Amino acid sequence: MRTLCLLLAALGSLSAAEPIAIEYVAHAAFLIHSPSGATVALDPYNSNRWLGYSFPRNLDADAVLVTHPHYDHDADYQFPASVPRYRLPGRYSVEDLRIMGVAGKHALHYGREFEQLNTVWLVETGGLRVLHVGDNGPLSREALAAVGKADVLLAPMDDLEHILTFQQLDEMADRVGAKIVVPMHYRLSALTERPASVGPIDRWLKTQPRVRTLDTNLIKLEPGELPAEREVWVLPHSPKVQAWGPKLEQAWRLRDQAREADPEDRLELLRQVRRTGPGVMTFAVEYAEALLAANRRAEAVRALEQALLDIPEGDHEYTEKAHWLLVQIYEEQSRSTQAEAHRRWLAAHTFRTEWQ
């Protein structure tokens, strides 16, 4: 009898195992937590560009998955350097998380600077399969065959159809057999009216027959509890995400004015922008470019080198651009040692084909 009781207790503890959890951060960023407590982060974003809101500080993850090298998906510097990063197709594992990266292709007209690389991520744990497609267009026949079925689909959608059309997302969900679709990559109007080129999802939601609007950004799932028919689950952003403060908003407004100004006024406006947003690599590089246009190369070099020191983990794209500008300036000045140092950095870090 005692043996039977112990066996029943053991079986009870197995059935009480933790479910998997999917945590929405904002934009296309999620955390997936396994039953054992292992966590992968997907597509962390830059806090200082385009979106109008911050990425939370001090989030924990055991690995970071990046779909493609755009700043709103590829801010892996939000996590410590010791955390593994995965970007390319392949099979990986993190404790009880089984991860497969499948070669995809960024939606048309975007990402040509890196040959439209987009890795579609399938994360399997606790008997469930979660598919994050990044900014992929419609999945190819090869990608669909590699992915197979997915229980939960995390996919871009907005009323302006920035990445996928309404029909394309419906077809993708049908083909992978998703029971839950979680939309991402749309404007979070409760936080900001940015970005102008991405819409909300109100119109799209009206086309969906079964929609659940949740009041939590973290959902817990078990295999036997999925909906019988596909549902759309709308998650709020993380409460840790904050809208930009007035200084950063002002800096971006000035920067937009600078783009329309004549060269002399542009330089002064960009100087103000840099003072207002001192920790933003975009502003530092655009200020240096204005100095170069004014033939003030020594000042441009100082601005770029100082920015690389002051903002060591800033925006990947503009950090790469700073190194590329310095390569060109130093080569013009026959300073081959300095040029080679920046060229080596680019060779080791960039995905842009023209800089490799």
pLDDT digits (tens, 9 = 90+) for 47-69: 999 999 999 999 999 999 999 99
User: Region 74-93: what's the mean pLDDT?
Assistant: 96
- The answer to whether residue 10 is domain-embedded is no
> Cα(127)–Cα(190) distance, rounded to whole angstroms?
34
User: 185 and 75 in one domain?
Assistant: yes
- The answer to whether residue 12 is domain-embedded is no
pLDDT of the residue at 14: 36
User: Region 219-240: what's the mean pLDDT?
Assistant: 96
pLDDT of the residue at 5: 44
User: 321 and 263 in one domain?
Assistant: yes
**pLDDT interval class at 315 (50, 70, 90):** confident
User: 278 and 185 in one domain?
Assistant: no
pLDDT of the residue at 355: 61
User: Region 63-78: what's the mean pLDDT?
Assistant: 96
User: 206 and 121 in one domain?
Assistant: yes
Closest residue by Cα to residue 67 from 139, 126, 150, 175: 139
User: 200 and 97 in one domain?
Assistant: yes
> Cα(91)–Cα(102) distance, rounded to whole angstroms?
9
Instruction: Pick the last residue of a domain from 234, 263, 291.
Output: 234
pLDDT digits (tens, 9 = 90+) for 167-216: 999 999 999 999 999 999 999 999 999 999 999 999 999 999 999 999 99
User: 255 and 201 in one domain?
Assistant: no
C-alpha distance from residue 32 to each of 38, 72, 131, 230, 256 (Å): 8, 19, 11, 20, 37
Instruction: Pick the last residue of a domain from 234, 260, 279.
Output: 234
pLDDT of the residue at 18: 78
> Cα(189)–Cα(204) distance, rounded to whole angstroms?
15
pLDDT digits (tens, 9 = 90+) for 243-273: 999 999 999 999 999 999 998 899 999 999 9
- The answer to whether residue 326 is domain-embedded is yes
| CATH code of the domain covering residue 52 | 3.60.15.10
User: 228 and 250 in one domain?
Assistant: no
> Cα(238)–Cα(189) distance, rounded to whole angstroms?
14
Q: What is the pTM of this model?
A: 0.91
Q: Which is more confidently placed, 154 or 16?
A: 154
Closest residue by Cα to residue 186 from 33, 105, 72, 106: 72
User: 173 and 213 in one domain?
Assistant: yes
User: 173 and 54 in one domain?
Assistant: yes
User: 142 and 29 in one domain?
Assistant: yes
**pLDDT interval class at 314 (50, 70, 90):** confident
User: Region 93-119: what's the mean pLDDT?
Assistant: 93
pLDDT of the residue at 15: 39
pLDDT of the residue at 8: 38
**pLDDT interval class at 13 (50, 70, 90):** very low
| CATH code of the domain covering residue 263 | 1.25.40.10
User: 46 and 23 in one domain?
Assistant: yes
pLDDT of the residue at 114: 86
* Domain count within the chain: 2
Q: What is the mean pLDDT of the chain?
A: 92
Instruction: Pick the last residue of a domain from 204, 234, 264.
Output: 234
Domain range enclosing 277: 246-355
User: 212 and 260 in one domain?
Assistant: no
